[in-house]
Structure 1
Amino acid sequence: MIGGGVVGIVLIGLLVFLGIHAFGGDDKPESNPTTSEPTGNQTTGGGDNGQLGNATGQAKTATEKLQGAGFGCSDLFNTSQGAHRGCFKYAGATEAEAIFQFQPDGTIIGVKLSSQDEDNVNNAKVTFDQALQAIGNDTFGGDQVKKIQDAVNNGQKSQKVGSSWGEFQLRNDGDTYALSGGKSGSDSFDLPKQTFDTTAAQLTAALKAKNYVCTSSCSKQVAKFDSQRVYFYASEGEGIKNLTISASGDPANVKKALPVAVNDAFGVLKGGDAAAVKSYIQAHNDGKSYASYVAGWRIEITGNNSDDYASQEIDISYESFYV
């Protein structure tokens, strides 16, 4: 998520992992689908219920190449003044995102790329390089992409990487790499504030009425060792700006509990296009992982499943993007 997610102005992070092989050379996308839904049985992303507006130039090229690599794309906003686009990919244990802002002519002015895989760092590295080349070869230039790749391969914990496009900040946190930066001479776009109308006190009262126990979050025991949980955050006197709904325990109980928790929370939520958000969540209740922008929100659906234990989590937040 690029976490999503999330306002600010532009979080530019590249999460890259150390692997066995060095970064690749030429940019060779696998295919060029014209829709924003990722292809293949192993990957899921976002964009099928989120909107994907028009793009030209660098933004169009980057989007098509990312889609060809299995990313699903959607727009947080896309206006005559510019756009904020996110492309997300889940492939097994690998999680990746490519988020960028671009001007009306398609010129990319800020980028966030991330990739991580706790099980196989080389998979994370390959996926990162897909995203880097998909955006970077046309936006930064191939020589500047190689400069970034070389800096990553050096394995330093933190360093600045200057380029003819702009300056990047590289950070290495062991199994996670991050790179932040933006186009020199360009200002990133402010992100619209996003909240539900419902306050934390109102949601707390409603959940307590449904037998949730509320402390720092509201939870309800489903079975002896299983539970469903609703966590939310709001500034004093304002509507909720972050909502997390989760369930954990026996896979059969989790499958039943998570939709109940969603209904319990969204039965109270007002404003913030709550109906559109709920619709996206219900359309992706298949145990897989997804991320997308929907109605101005960043939605991430993630899970961990085995034969005897499962956990599913839905995170709804405002986006943040810093340079």
Structure 2
Amino acid sequence: MIGGGVVGIVLIGLLVFLGIHAFGGDDKPASGPTTSEQPTGNPTDGGDNNGELGNATGQAKTATEKLQGLGYGCSDLFNTAQGAHRGCFKYEGATEAQAIFQFQSDGTIIGVDLTSQNEDNVNNAAVTFDAALQALGNDTFGGSEVKKVQDAIKTGQKSQKVGSTWGEFELRNDGDTVELSGGKSGSDSLDLPKKTFDTTEPQLAAALKAKQYVCTSSCSKQVGKYGSQRVYFYASEGEGIKQIEMSASGDPGDVKKALPAAVNDAFGVLKGGDVAALKSYIQSHSDGKSSASYVAGWRVEITGNASDDYASQRINISYETFFV
């Protein structure tokens, strides 16, 4: 992964989980309900989920409730009679964390990806990771298997495999980031929706150039004396855009105007059935607080930082990746 959320295609997933601090310090994304009456969505297209949670029982329900209790906001990429893909995201000060897992219709968790990152304080990243590991792992893997992971972290190795009765884990403990991924033995991960917009890279670049953007590896224009607003996008050859990032940096007053302008410029060109839902989510989360959610089968992250004389804000929309 990444992350989230934290990411070829894996590197793209990681880009959206870079260590950018939250706007407002210890702000947390709003948590949805743990369950709803009926499963929703279609794993081939992302379904109709717009940041909500579908049905969950057993291990998945327990893990979700415990993560929400730790301040994570959770949503489903899809949730069907065959199974679900759920992501729980947390922003607390300089710490960014995600707990992504797939589960079967009976709630049995079959794949996990836990990540915690803090560039300012390695210990805080480790503490956040351990809390999520116990919240999800004690009931899913068992306490003894959780301890195996904890003991492996203590060895200080940057990357290692950890065997367990549940399945095999891949552990990465690289300075400011701790990540654990793994799949349940005998279970196959659920396929993720392939998401693209109808708009291609050349079409979006041409439209932004007409709005006085300078386009090289991304499209940008100057804002104020030292700032900029930027639109980055990516697509496979001959396909529609599958990742887009809108950002602004510079004087806080300039950034406050520049980011909405970049969003309007990009969404004024983007075409596809998910555009309205994505823009609605972004507009409803324009309060300066960091958040992440699955919306219409896409992963959306809103992050940034600010001081008295400098601010940076970013919105990233990408298709999800999950390799365990």
User: Does the CA-based 8 Å contact 2:25-2:94 persist in structure 1?
Assistant: no
**Displacement, 1:178?**
2.2
Where does residue 273 of structure 1 map in the other structure?
Answer: 274
Task: Determine if contact 1:229/1:247 at 8 Å carries over to the other structure.
Answer: yes
Q: Which moved more, 1:111-120 or 1:242-251?
A: 111-120
2:277 & 2:260 partners in 1: Cα distance? 16
In the other structure, the counterpart of 1:156 is 157
Write the deviation string for residues 249-282 of structure 1: whole angstroms up to 9, x where unpaired.
0001001100010000001111041111011111
Distance 1:161 1:236, change over 3 A: same
Sequence identity percentage? 78
More deviation in 76-85 or 202-211? 202-211
**Alignment: residue pair count:** 296
Q: Name the counterpart of 1:190.
A: 191
Match of 2:291 in 1: 290
Q: Is the 8 A contact 1:222 1:257 kept in 2?
A: yes
> Whole-Å Cα distance in 2 between the matches of residues 7 and 193 of structure 1?
15
Deviation at 1:159, TM superposition (A): 1.6
Equivalences for 1:144-293 in 2 at 5 Å?
144-293=145-294
Q: 1:43 aligns with which of 27, 35, 53?
A: 27
Q: SS of the residue aligned with 2:28? A: strand
> Partner residue of 1:4?
4
> Which string of whole-angstrom CA distances, capped at 9 and with x for unpartnered residues, describes residues 134-173 of structure 1?
1100000011101110111111122211100001112222
Post-superposition, which runs of at least 4 consecutive aligned residues in structure 1 deviate over 4 A? 5-9, 46-49
Q: Please, which runs of 5 or more residues in structure 2 have no aligned partner?
A: 15-23, 33-49
* Aligned counterparts of 2:223 and 2:8: Cα–Cα separation in 1: 35
Q: CA RMSD in A?
A: 2.2
C-alpha contact 2:96 2:116 (8 A) present in aligned 1 = yes
Asked whether the 8 Å contact 1:73–1:88 carries over to 2, the reply is: yes
Q: Which residue of 2 aligns with 1:87?
A: 88
CA distance, structure 1, for counterparts of residue 64 and residue 179 of structure 2: 21
Q: Distance in 2 between matches of 1:77 and 1:7?
A: 24
CA contact (8 A) 2:4 2:89 kept: no
Deviation at 1:108, TM superposition (A): 0.1
Output one character per residue of 1:76-107: Cα deviation in whole Å (capped at 9) or x when no partner: 00000000000000001010000000000000
Structure 2 partner of 1:26: none
Task: State the match for 2:126 in structure 1.
Answer: 125
Q: Distance in 1 between matches of 2:161 and 2:13?
A: 13
What secondary structure, in the 3-state scheme, does the structure 2 residue paired with 1:194 have?
coil
Residue type of the alignment partner of 2:218: S
Instruction: Please say if residues 304 and 314 of structure 2, whose CA atoms lie closer than 8 Å, have aligned partners that are also in contact.
Output: yes
Farther-moved stretch of structure 1 (191-200 vs 171-180): 171-180
Q: Is the 8 A contact 1:137 1:145 kept in 2?
A: yes
TM-score (norm. length: structure 1):
0.87
Give the aligned partner of residue 317 of structure 1.
Answer: 318
- Contact 1:293/1:299 (<8 A) preserved: yes
Match of 1:62 in 2: 63
Distance 1:121 1:303 in 2: 20
Question: Could you tell me whether the CA contact under 8 Å between 1:8 and 1:322 is conserved in 2?
Answer: no
In structure 1, the partner of 2:17 is none
The one-letter code matched in structure 2 to 1:63 is T
Query: Structure 1 stretch 191-200 or stretch 124-133: which is displaced more?
Result: 124-133
- Tell me how far 1:174 sits from its aligned partner: 2.1
Query: Normalising by the residue count of structure 2, what TM-score does the alignment of the two structures yield?
Result: 0.87
Q: Secondary structure at the match of 1:44?
A: coil
| 3-state secondary structure, aligned to 2:128 | helix
* CA shift digits 1:225-255 (9 cap, x unpaired): 1110001011112110000100000001001
Corresponding letter in the other structure for 2:229: Q
CA distance in 1, matches of 2:128, 2:289: 19
Structure 1 residues 202 and 8, CA gap change in structure 2 (3 angstroms): closer
Q: CA deviation at 1:112?
A: 0.6
C-alpha contact 1:76 1:85 (8 A) present in aligned 2: yes
Q: Which moved more, 1:186-195 or 1:123-132?
A: 123-132
Asked whether the 8 Å contact 1:12–1:322 carries over to 2, the reply is no
Deviation of 1:46 (Å)? 6.0
What CA distance in whole angstroms lies between the structure 1 residues aligned with 2:224 and 2:291?
27
**Structure 2: distance between partners of 1:242 and 1:55:** 29
Specify the SS of the correspondent of 1:43.
Answer: coil
Deviations 1:22-43 (CA, angstroms, capped at 9, x unpaired): xxxxxxxxxxxxxxxxxx9823
